[in-house]
Amino acid sequence: MSKGEKINTVERLIIDASRVSRYLGYPRKVPIWRINFILPKNCYIFRTEDNSDIALEIENLEGSAIIPALSEEESIRRLKVLIPSADFRGKITRV
């Protein structure tokens, strides 16, 4: 496992997705999911090439992620690899 980067989740942090062209074409082949979550004040993010297509917005101990995945379960699994300390809150929606 790669070394994680420590982040302060109180401050605003936006991480854009890369490699988006593989799932934004028409017709879309991979569903996109929005997951809202809460975080501790300090946590680690494990950004790799395998999860660089996930977009994040974090502020005031809360976050939102846009995740391409074939299923809701896969989207949760992908987020937990990226941010293991994320606690899910609310509904997971397909966008």
Contact between 35 and 28 under an 8 Å Cβ cutoff? The reply is no
DSSP, residue by residue, the chain? -PPPEEEESSS-EEE--S-THHHHSSS--S-EEEEEEE--SEEEE---GGGTT-EEEEETTEEEEEEE-SSHHHHHHHHHHH-TT-EE-S--EE-
Residue 13: which domain range?
Answer: 5-94
Q: pLDDT category, 21, cuts 50, 70, 90?
A: low
Rounded mean pLDDT of 52-70? 94
Instruction: Provide the number of structural domains found in the chain.
Output: 1
**What does pTM read for this prediction?**
0.85
**Lowest-pLDDT range of 19-28, 32-41, 45-54:** 19-28
Instruction: Give the model's pLDDT for residue 1.
Output: 44
